[in-house]
Structure 1
Amino acid sequence: MNQYRDADARASLDARLLWQPAGSADLDNWAELIARTAAVERPVWFERRADLAQILDSKNNAAAANTILGVDSVGVARAYSRITKSRSGDKAVGFGCVDPAWQGQGIGTGLLGWLEQRTRERFAGDAVSGEPGPAPRLRLCMEQQHTHQAALFDNSGYRIVRYYNEMHRPLDAGVPEAALDEGLELVAFGPELHEPVRLAHNDVFRDHWGSEPRDEEAWGFVVNDPQMRPDLSAVVIERSSGTVAGYQLASHDAEGADARGFREGYTDLLGVRREFRGRGIAQALLADAMSRFAAAGMDKASLDVDSENPTGALALYTKMGYVAVNHSMAWDKEL
C-alpha cells in the first residue's frame, strides 16, 4: 500500500513498484541499491549503510515523511529519493537514484515529481503564521559526467546556479611549511570543541552563497559522520581569548579508496573567522592537514570549492598545489 497521502505525488510514481518510507529494516536493501547504481555511474562519493542509518536517526528530517523507497515484486529496492530542509532554510535539497537496470523508463521523472511535492509540503509546514515565507525551492546536485541527470533536470525546468571544483594535491611531493602568528595555537579537534567550532562555522559562512546556519542536529551529522576523522582535523585557537580562529575538519572514505585506487584525506570544512584573516591560518591548517594525511598513509589531500568562493579560496588552494580533477553543479528550481 502506498503510504504517501498527497495525490499529486502518488500519481507521479511508477505503479510497478511498491512505494514506502525507508525504515531500519530497509537499510541493507537501500544501501545495496545505491551501491549497484554507483558501480555503474561511478560517483566520487556515495552513501553507505552507516550514512543511511544516521539519516534515519534524524529528528528534523523524519524518514517516514522525507524518504521514499520503491521495491519490486520480489522486494528488491529499485529507486529512492529523500529530501532535507532546515526549518528556517530557503531551499530543500533532494537526493536519489534509480537502479541502472530500471533507468530510462520514467522512474526518475516520477521521483522528481515526488521531491517537488514534498518540498512544497515542507515549506508550507515550516511557514510562520501571518508572515510571508520564501518561495519553495528545490536544489539538486550532480557531477559533470552524469549527463543523464543533466538532461532530466534541464527538461524539468531546473537551471544551473553554481559550479564546484573537486581538487587533489599529491602528498608524495612533500608538504609546504606554514607557520602561525604568535598568539595563535593549533590544537586537536575533540568533543570539547564541537560547539565552539559550530558557532565559528556559522560565523565564517554567514555570507557564503547557499550556506545556512547549522543547528545542533545538523552539526551532529558532521561530527558524527561515520567517515569523520578527528585525528586528521585541527583547530586554531587564539591563546589570549580561547576564541576559535579557524578550523579544518577532515574525513576518509576507506571503502572508496579501493574503488578509486588511492587513499585520500578529504577536507570537508575549512574556515577562518573574518577578524583573523590575512594571518596565514588557512595555509597553516591545510599544511597541517597534509602532514596528518601523509602520516596516516594517504596518497592525496582533497577538497571541494565553490568556483565563485568570495574569500579567494580557489587561488589559495591552487597556490598550495591543489589541482581541479572533477566538476559538479548545483541546479535550482523555484516551485
Structure 2
Amino acid sequence: MTGPNDGIYGYGHVIAALREGRIFADAYTHPDHVGAGIGTTLLTHIEARAAAMARGIASGDEATDVALVNYVLLGGDADRMLRARGYHLARIHKRMRTTLDTPLVAPVWPSEVSVRTCTGTAEDLRRVHECVEEAFGDRWGRAPRSYDQWAEDMIYEGFAPALWLVAERAGRVVGASLCRFRQVDDQVAGEVSQLGVRREARQLGLGRALLLASFALFAERGATSVGLDVDSESPTGAHRLYERSGMTTTVAIGQFELRIRR
C-alpha cells in the first residue's frame, strides 16, 4: 500500500503451498502508520487473493478447504485482529535461545554411533535429506518434501557443509543437526535450522548429543549464542529436550488459520 508521494505504508504477500492445502500470508504496516487501518485493509486484500487462488486450484466439483495461514506474535494487535476475523490458533511455535558464555556440557554419544561433518557431496546431501525427511515425518502439518524442494531451502549461497553434523550407525545416517550462522544485534549467532533423529535411533540421547555438539561447534567459531525454532507440541518432546539443554523461550509465535473453500 502506498500513500502520498508514493510512500510505502505497508505491504503483504501470499504464497501458495498447494500440495499441503495451504496458502501462507504475511503483512506489515510501517511503524509511522500503525492504527490507521492499514493492517485490516491488507488482510482484506490477502483474503480475497487467497480465495481467488483457492478457486483456481479446484478440481472438478469437489469442495475442498484450503487453510490461509498467518504467523504473528501472540498477545499483540495482529493476534487480536486475526481472532476477530475468524482465524483460529492452530499451533504455537517457540523461538528458543541459549548463550555460549558459560562452560559447555560435553555430548555423550550412544553406543555404536559416530559423528562427522557433512561432506557436501551430492550423495551425502541426499543421505542427510532422507534422514531428515523420516525424522520430521511425524511432525504436525508437515507434507513430504522432495530433495529438490528441501535443497532449495537448505543449500543456500554460502552454504557450509562443515556446519552440518551427521550421526551414523552401521553406515546409515540416523541423525543430523543442520547449522548455519546469522547476525543478531550485531553479534554472530548460531542457528540450528533442522535437528532430527530417525525413529530407530530415538530414546538413546542422540538428539541431545547432537544439540550439545552444535553448541560446541558454534562456540569454537566465535558465536555468542545459539537459536532455533520449535513446535510447542512436538510429538517427540523436542522443546523439553531444548529446555533441559539450557535453552529458554524468547518469543512465542501463533500459527493462525482461516479455512477457505475452493
Q: TM-score, normalised by structure 2?
A: 0.87
User: What is the DSSP-based 3-state SS (H/G/I as helix, E as strand, rest coil) of the residue aligned with 1:198?
Assistant: helix
Residues 257 and 264 of structure 1 are in contact (CA less than 8 Å); yes or no, is this contact kept in structure 2?
no
Q: Take 2:193 and 2:79, find their aligned partners in 1: how far apart are those partners?
A: 25
Structure 2: stretches of 5+ with no match in the other structure:
none
Q: CA deviation at 1:291?
A: 0.7
User: What is the DSSP-based 3-state SS (H/G/I as helix, E as strand, rest coil) of the residue aligned with 2:227?
Assistant: strand
- Residue 110 of structure 2 is aligned to residue 181 of structure 1: yes
2:91 match: 162
Q: Take 2:178 and 2:90, find their aligned partners in 1: how far apart are those partners?
A: 26
Q: Which has the higher helix share?
A: 1
1:152-205 deviation per Cα after TM superposition (whole angstroms, max 9, x unaligned) = 212211121212222222212222222333443222232433333233222222
1:81 match: 12
- Which of the numbers 163, 182, 190 marks the counterpart of 1:232? 163
Identify if the C-alpha distance between structure 1 residues 118 and 216 changes in structure 2 by more than 3 Å, giving closer, same or farther: farther
- Residue 205 of structure 2 is aligned to residue 280 of structure 1: yes
Residues 17 and 24 of structure 2 are in contact (CA less than 8 Å); yes or no, is this contact kept in structure 1?
no
1:229-250 deviation per Cα after TM superposition (whole angstroms, max 9, x unaligned) = 543321212343xx32111112
1:26-49 deviation per Cα after TM superposition (whole angstroms, max 9, x unaligned) = xxxxxxxxxxxxxxxxxxxxxxxx
Q: What are the residue-to-residue correspondences of 1:10-49 with 2, within 5 Å?
A: none
Q: Which residue type is aligned with residue 81 of structure 1?
A: G
2:74 match: 144
User: What is the DSSP-based 3-state SS (H/G/I as helix, E as strand, rest coil) of the residue aligned with 2:49?
Assistant: helix
Identify if the C-alpha distance between structure 1 residues 334 and 233 changes in structure 2 by more than 3 Å, giving closer, same or farther: same
Q: CA deviation at 1:301?
A: 1.8
Q: CA deviation at 1:84?
A: 2.1
Q: TM-score, normalised by structure 1?
A: 0.69
Q: Which has the higher strand share?
A: 2
Q: Take 1:76 and 1:199, find their aligned partners in 2: how far apart are those partners?
A: 47
Q: Take 2:74 and 2:113, find their aligned partners in 1: how far apart are those partners?
A: 40
Q: What are the residue-to-residue correspondences of 1:111-122 with 2, within 5 Å?
A: 111-122=42-53
Q: Which residue type is aligned with residue 182 of structure 2?
A: D
Q: How many residues align?
A: 258
Q: Take 2:60 and 2:127, find their aligned partners in 1: how far apart are those partners?
A: 33
Identify if the C-alpha distance between structure 1 residues 185 and 332 changes in structure 2 by more than 3 Å, giving closer, same or farther: same
Q: What are the residue-to-residue correspondences of 1:209-228 with 2, within 5 Å?
A: 209-225=140-156
2:245 match: 320
Residues 70 and 257 of structure 2 are in contact (CA less than 8 Å); yes or no, is this contact kept in structure 1?
yes
2:231 match: 306
1:52-88 deviation per Cα after TM superposition (whole angstroms, max 9, x unaligned) = xxxxxxxxxxxxxxxxxx3445344332212223231
For the aligned residue pairs, the C-alpha RMSD in angstroms reads 2.4
Q: Return the structure number with greater relative CO, CA threshold 8 A, min gap 6.
A: 2
Residues 188 and 223 of structure 2 are in contact (CA less than 8 Å); yes or no, is this contact kept in structure 1?
yes
Q: CA deviation at 1:135?
A: 0.3
User: What is the DSSP-based 3-state SS (H/G/I as helix, E as strand, rest coil) of the residue aligned with 1:325?
Assistant: strand
- Which of the numbers 290, 296, 300 marks the counterpart of 2:221? 296
Q: Which residue type is aligned with residue 269 of structure 1?
A: Q
Q: Which residue type is aligned with residue 139 of structure 1?
A: V
Residues 229 and 252 of structure 1 are in contact (CA less than 8 Å); yes or no, is this contact kept in structure 2?
no
Identify if the C-alpha distance between structure 1 residues 287 and 76 changes in structure 2 by more than 3 Å, giving closer, same or farther: same
